Amino acid sequence: MSGWVKKRFWADVTVAEADDGFAIELDGRRVKTPAKAPLAVPTRAFADVIAEEWRAQGEAINPASMPATRAANAAIDKVRGQMGEVAGLITDYGDSDLVCYRAEAPDRLVAREAEAWGPIVDWTAHRYGVQPIVCTGVVHVPQPAALLEGLRADVVRLTAFELTCFHDLVAMSGSLLIALAVIDRFDAPEALWAISRVDEEWQITQWGTDEEAEALTELRKRSFLDAARFYFALQPGA
């Protein structure tokens, strides 16, 4: 038996300026979040992205095709009420960041990691005035307290909407430093996604891959790039 599918019930989608930001309206009625809060976002650019998702729906609504709407819902219903907890969870990545833990062998992998991740480590040292500790193996090596404080300061300044997007950048890449490099425009999101995949791509060259793994990688990549796109759409003047 097929599951229940929600049908499209609107004809017109518009963006309306409101007291709480920019709202999306379906036939003149405001969209609400799953928790029944009014869906309003800080910039018209991000509202336009959400509105386009609603316009693109066919006869049946496909939530999987609406990542911007999901991000806005999460920011309003979940993240906004627990900013400190989310920021703390994200900042914890910085104490065991992907780019600071290197392979001991083989030499070709060691070289690939150094080439891909060295510029991120250098950028971090320049931005925060503290050199990250780079080590080999998997045993935890704490990062300098001053560096962690600087990282946290940049995370806690984010708005609920920005923090929601930023969370996905960190979670999909496995690296707080790569995510920070994205929002600082250190390099294109596509390039920064690629360097987060150094170890995985090495394993593929050694052992191959399969359709399930490829599909998961593509989903994570799309989520990472969407998060970057939404983050920049949230910036003033976007």
Cα distance between residue 117 and residue 187, in whole Å: 13
CATH fourth-level superfamily of 13-77: ATP12-like (3.30.2180.10)
- Residue 61, pLDDT above cutoff 70: yes
Model confidence band, residue 5 (pLDDT cutoffs 50, 70, 90): low
pLDDT in tens, 107-154: 999 999 999 999 999 999 999 999 999 999 889 999 999 999 999 999
pLDDT in tens, 166-213: 999 999 999 999 999 999 999 999 999 999 999 999 999 999 888 999
- Residue 6, pLDDT above cutoff 90: no
Residues 72-95 have a mean pLDDT of: 96
- Residue 236, pLDDT above cutoff 60: yes
Q: What is the pTM of this model?
A: 0.94
Please indicate whether the domains covering 13-77 and 82-233 agree at the CATH topology level: no
Cα distance between residue 153 and residue 208, in whole Å: 41
Decide yes or no: CATH 3.50.50.60 for domain 82-233: no
Would you state the pLDDT for residue 74? Answer: 98
Strands 101-102 and 40-41, how do they pair? unpaired
| Average pLDDT of the residues of the chain | 95
Domain ranges of the chain: 13-77, 82-233
| Per-residue three-class SS string for 7-35 | ECCCCCEEEEEECCEEEEEECCEECECCC
